Structure 1
Amino acid sequence: MEPPNQPPRRAPDSSPQPEPPIQAQPKPPSQVSKSSLGRRLDKLLAFQGTLPSRVSALAFCESFLIGRRVLVLNRLLYAIGNPITDEALELLLTEDYPNNPFEVVTVAEKLGLRAIVEAMMRAQLGMPLQRPFGSPNVLSPWHKILLNPRQLHQLPTASIKEISTETVIGPTARKPLRLSIPIMITGMSYGGSLSLRLKMALAKGSAIVGTSTNTGESGLAPETRKLAKYMVGQYNRGHFLRGPEALSQLDAIEVQCGQGAFGGGVESTVLSAGIDDHLRKTMGLKEGEDAVIHSRHPGKDAPEAIIGLVDDLKAQYDVPVGVKIAASDFIEPDLEVVARSRADFIVIDGSEGGTAVAPPTLEDDVGLPTLYGLVRAVDWLNAEGIRERFSVIAAGGLKTPGDFLKALALGADAVYIGSIAVLAAIHTQITEVVPKAAPAQMALYTGRYADRLDVDKAAKSLANFFSSCVAEMKLAIQAIGKKSTSELTRDDLVTVDRDLAEFAGIRYAGSARKLR
């Protein structure tokens, strides 16, 4: 590429050439010193090989500024040039740490950039932070587990057409929930979390592939019920979804006792000023009434009361009734309470689960990772001889077809997904938001760009995501030599971690398999 303001190069010619006219050089911008910034941009551009011959970097920059936003680019030039002065370099290379700007680097390495930024947020706000999409502290070692293909001693499945992904939740219920795939949309509330348009997209996208969506901690919006093929309703701690009119429209009822991203059950409030008329009607709130999520179900102050609630719902409705708990080190005692009820399914929600917003401490430091919660739950149910009584749904940070398969092989009947489904639904529409705002601004009820979401486009993107995942899962199942997602077991897994092998009851890759 030729530099600006210069004619194209020609091949050398032995004939004499006329002297080119002397061209006036453009004046450098008055804001920039040629002696400092000019020389350094010359060196930088020459080093990168972007200029085949030495020209004035300031002339290059000035020609680039023509027709541009000069003020913005001048500031950019200043930001680039000012630190690259002899004085700054000398300071960086000669001064001890107390007077050296490099101290910022070592402090960031010690404390971590996230901790520093969150400390600044806390210093400004003086109140709990609200971080979207859950914790970056991912402790479930899914990447250390691999699936076992079969090739000779057992053969792969002959045809991928033989492989089934049909899933049944609550098979002993009077009206079991029969899904086409073992991937379900988890509870994400309208209002407390997502916008109505995104909830509609999730409902429509899930219907296309024959799976379910979930009300989350909200009421049942008629728009989402109309679009969804299967609707799981959360009997939540805000009591926004109760009563025969709403509950009779559901395909499954989920009694929500805890949430992984919140570390269990804690209270939260959406002020009435942030609730519009449609959401107020959906939640069954009065004018001026706040939406309050309690730490426990109001009026249910003992384990026996929760057991009674589940049993009452079972008696009144034919659909499966389940209990959702956050994974914790008390998972076995919590399961013992659930086992005393007539529940049809159990949701184990790990600490890596997402949410609209939650305090970082609850996201990062409370609860149990999804993999550990799932394994311990399934192991306890098996040890008690009651595994067949319950469908188990794993939730919390699951994001790839490989994650889904491994969770199923560890004992789950189905998996819930949330954050990854939201991002898949938004897909290229995210360009309407990023980089001028965070992606959550198109997803959340309070998002500045929530009304720009194209529901049909988002639903199609979500359906494509599901279809892609299921297609890859079928290929893996074919390699494993099975014919259904429900046939997966821990014998189909191997791990490179000895401790994980012992904990999860799967083969350690560093030991030989004995021939039978």
Structure 2
Amino acid sequence: MLNELLLRMANPITDGLFEKIVTEDYAKSPLVMMTIMEKLTLRAIAETGIRAETGKALKRPMGSPLRLSPWEKLLLNPRQLFQLPTAKQSNIKTQVTIGPNAKRPLQIDLPILITGMSYGGSLNLKMKEALAKGAALAGTATNTGESAVSSEERKAAKFLVGQYNRGGWLNTPEQLKQLDAIEVQLGQGAWGGAVESSMKYEEMDEHLRELWHVKPGETSGKKARFKGVNSPEEIINLVNQLQKTYEVPIGIKIAATHFIERELEIIGQTKADFIVIDGQEGGTAAAALTLEDDMGLPTLFGISRTVDWLRKQGKREQFSLIAAGGLRTPGEFLKALALGADAVYIGSIAIIASLQSQMIKALPENPAPQLALYNGSLADQFDVDEGSRHLANFFQSCREEMIMALQAMGKNNIRDLGREDLVCIDREIAAALKIGYAGEPVFRRGTVHLAAK
């Protein structure tokens, strides 16, 4: 009865609207807004409105919506007859070592780590605790991001990677000696590399002010460069001094760009133990839209070009490689490893996993990230134990699916993956990545024989 009444009430409205659409001059028709949205997109219209209202650079959480790495065009290669599948899944190993040449290598149970997302600059303390605890339950590492080591995160983490950062918050012996690996943060994919940013005293709570040593009236932030470091040579010296001073693996993180080989020439002169390549699809709490959408290199090509350069220079064994930027699924993780990465960082998808059952606390009135962000209006409602449990479940689910795929490919160890385990449905991409093209037989004359990882 109610449905029928509502339909009768709506009928004259819809009739009038439809008549107006099909009879009015186009410029006066409601249809014109539909065509404007088709041309400009609703997102561009909304972003234009915010710019016109505020006159300030826009900042978008979680990174760019653009996904430029064509992971879906790559497939993994199972074996059935010429090589048999692995007999038992229990025989397949997923453990990896980051920085095997370091005095104290970082050994983790699976090649998936939580990427750098800072307490204060990005996430609230509860979310940082949940990420650390969830990673610990899975036997892997979490990352401080561009912040300092809090006692809460250190206690929750089994393995903690710390970012030697351009804000200086972690760059002291007292902080550095608490870490299981040190990552010199020279750039970030979602920030177009390295860009300065700041945070006012009144935007911080007392816990963060104490951790960052910020006094009343002060503004804290990161610069585009490290203090006192103004040349490639000084970067090399910085990294080498850290490697000399600390026993844990020392790494360098950069945003992937079209100049990646030139950047690697500098890294290749250091004594670093690992490299992090962060693609354009990487996330962040709040970067300007132009930095997120219009700068950098897609993650997939960042990985392949880095591995190719390291092999060509005979340095592949010197550096472990961690790939970051928009990776979401076990299949994508495996493809990144097959291209040559030793491990992958995840960020946005880890937050989503941690929020799994708690999004209802926010939706529909508020966006779910308000539970996770440092200045999120619902930060106090996030449950750490529940979030860490769901993140650990996500890790376990990914591990199980990855092992299934490895069994189908006849692998006993995840480190046995190589480019021969990939095929691409796009000829140009296949050639760029030096992997097989789906339209040609594997052993066709003239086909490039691919080196194993």
Structure 1: how far apart are the matches of 2:413 and 2:146? Answer: 33
Partners of 2:362 and 2:368 within 8 A in 1: yes
Q: Are residue 204 (structure 1) and residue 136 (structure 2) matched? A: no
Q: Are residue 452 (structure 1) and residue 400 (structure 2) matched? A: no
Q: Are residue 133 (structure 1) and residue 66 (structure 2) matched? A: no
Alignment length (residue pairs)? 445
Give the C-alpha shift of residue 298 in structure 1.
1.5
Q: 1:83 to 1:256 in 2, by over 3 A?
A: farther
Partners of 2:323 and 2:336 within 8 A in 1: yes
Give the C-alpha shift of residue 85 in structure 1.
4.1
1:415 aligned to which of 335, 344, 349: 344
Give the C-alpha shift of residue 514 in structure 1.
2.2
Structure 1: how far apart are the matches of 2:340 and 2:307? Answer: 6
RMSD value over aligned CA atoms? 1.5
Structure 2, gaps ≥5 residues long: 446-453
Q: Are residue 84 (structure 1) and residue 32 (structure 2) matched? A: no
Tell me the percent identity.
Answer: 54
Partners of 1:219 and 1:284 within 8 A in 2: no
Q: Where does 1:47-66 land on structure 2 (aligned, <5 Å)?
A: 57=5
Q: Which residue in the other structure is 1:13 paired with? A: none
Q: Which residue in the other structure is 1:218 paired with? A: 147
1:380 aligned to which of 303, 309, 327: 309
1:499 aligned to which of 418, 428, 435: 428
Letter in 2 for 1:114: R
Q: Where does 1:224-373 land on structure 2 (aligned, <5 Å)?
A: 224-373=153-302
Q: Which residue in the other structure is 1:21 paired with? A: none
Larger displacement relative to structure 2 (277-286 or 204-213): 277-286
Structure 2: how far apart are the matches of 1:284 and 1:187? Answer: 21
Q: Secondary structure at the match of 1:404?
A: helix
1:251-279 Cα shifts (integer Å, max 9, x gaps): 00000000000010001111111111111
Structure 1: how far apart are the matches of 2:169 and 2:442? Answer: 54
Q: Secondary structure at the match of 1:172?
A: coil
Q: Where does 1:126-205 land on structure 2 (aligned, <5 Å)?
A: 126-205=55-134
Q: Which residue in the other structure is 2:449 paired with? A: none
Tell which has more relative contact order, 1 or 2 (C-alpha 8 A, sep 6+). 2
1:99-156 Cα shifts (integer Å, max 9, x gaps): 1110001111111111111001101110011101000111000000000000000000
Q: Are residue 468 (structure 1) and residue 397 (structure 2) matched? A: yes
Q: 1:115 to 1:243 in 2, by over 3 A?
A: same
For normalisation by structure 2, the TM-score amounts to 0.96
Partners of 1:133 and 1:356 within 8 A in 2: yes
Partners of 1:235 and 1:253 within 8 A in 2: yes
Larger radius of gyration: 1
Partners of 2:69 and 2:298 within 8 A in 1: yes
Letter in 1 for 2:234: A
Structure 2: how far apart are the matches of 1:81 and 1:515? Answer: 65
Give the C-alpha shift of residue 82 in structure 1.
7.2
1:406-430 Cα shifts (integer Å, max 9, x gaps): 0000000000000000010011101
Q: Secondary structure at the match of 1:415?
A: strand
Structure 1: how far apart are the matches of 2:55 and 2:436? Answer: 49
Letter in 2 for 1:261: A
Give the C-alpha shift of residue 315 in structure 1.
1.0
Structure 2: how far apart are the matches of 1:436 and 1:257? Answer: 38
Structure 1: how far apart are the matches of 2:156 and 2:269? Answer: 35
Give the C-alpha shift of residue 359 in structure 1.
0.9
Q: Secondary structure at the match of 1:387?
A: coil
Q: Which residue in the other structure is 1:33 paired with? A: none
Q: Secondary structure at the match of 1:217?
A: coil
Structure 1, gaps ≥5 residues long: 5-44, 46-55, 62-76
Give the C-alpha shift of residue 89 in structure 1.
2.5
